[in-house]
């Protein structure tokens, strides 16, 4: 009897021990951690891409924009195929200054031009050969002086297009406008032909040449 009782106690103890063992069940794949982590990473990537696109739209639309130089009108300082970054917000802060290189819209031709500002509203401009006067004083143009000197050494003028003209006889720039010319004076369509440029048609100031890389530099404004 005593032996049976001991055997029963051992059996009960073994059963109790077995019950106390933790039960391990397989977790369904849908509840495992890795997929949740992957979903979280995917959401973060999507957020990052959306933020980047928004920044690109803001920067390109309101602050800076790349433009490609097309044509010889700004040689010897800018050449076809060069890429420039245009500062689109500067002239929301202040007015343009003479000597600055700008990109502007020309609605009559449905094109954008890159030119240099020579005079602003209220100034009186005269172009006679290679002498440009603003308000009766000849201006210094170091950005094309070497080209002018070379032309003179060859016995000719660098510029053959004067101003005022028969089409634009008044040399005084109206308020709210600028007078622009290309650095390649004899091969540039500018204010001598298209007239004064409204401030609202100026897209911005060209500040950096970023392509090709071997010509990358900040643009000088005189």
Are 188 and 66 in contact by the 8 Å Cβ rule? The answer is: no
| Spatial separation of the C-alpha atoms in residues 179 and 170, rounded to whole Å | 12
- Known catalytic residue at 43: no
**Cα dihedral: 212, 214, 216, 217 (round 10):** -150
Catalytic member of 37, 38, 47, 73? 73
| Active-site residue, selected from the candidate residues 88, 115, 188, 191 | 115
Residue 30 known to be catalytic: no
Return the active site residues. Answer: 73, 115
């Amino acid at each position: 009897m005593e032996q049976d009782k001991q055997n029963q106690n051992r059996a009960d103890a073994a059963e109790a021990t077995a019950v106390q063992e933790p039960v391990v069940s397989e977790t369904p794949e849908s509840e495992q951690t890795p997929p949740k982590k992957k979903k979280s990473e995917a959401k973060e990537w999507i957020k990052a891409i959306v933020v980047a696109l928004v920044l690109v739209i803001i920067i390109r639309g309101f602050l800076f924009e790349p433009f490609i130089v097309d044509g010889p009108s700004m040689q010897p300082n800018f050449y076809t195929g060069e890429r420039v970054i245009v500062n689109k917000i500067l002239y929301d802060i202040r007015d343009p200054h003479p000597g600055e290189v700008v990109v502007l819209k020309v609605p009559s031709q449905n094109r954008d031009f890159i030119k240099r500002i020579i005079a602003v509203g209220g100034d009186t401009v005269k172009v006679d050969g290679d002498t440009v006067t603003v308000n009766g004083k000849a201006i210094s143009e170091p950005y094309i002086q070497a080209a002018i000197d070379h032309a003179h050494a060859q016995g000719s003028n660098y510029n053959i297009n004067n101003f005022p003209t028969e089409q634009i006889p008044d040399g005084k720039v109206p308020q709210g406008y600028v007078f622009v010319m290309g650095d390649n004076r004899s091969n540039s369509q500018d204010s001598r032909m298209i007239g004064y440029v409204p401030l609202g048609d100026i897209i911005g100031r060209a500040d950096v040449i970023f392509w090709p890389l071997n010509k990358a530099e900040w643009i000088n404004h005189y």
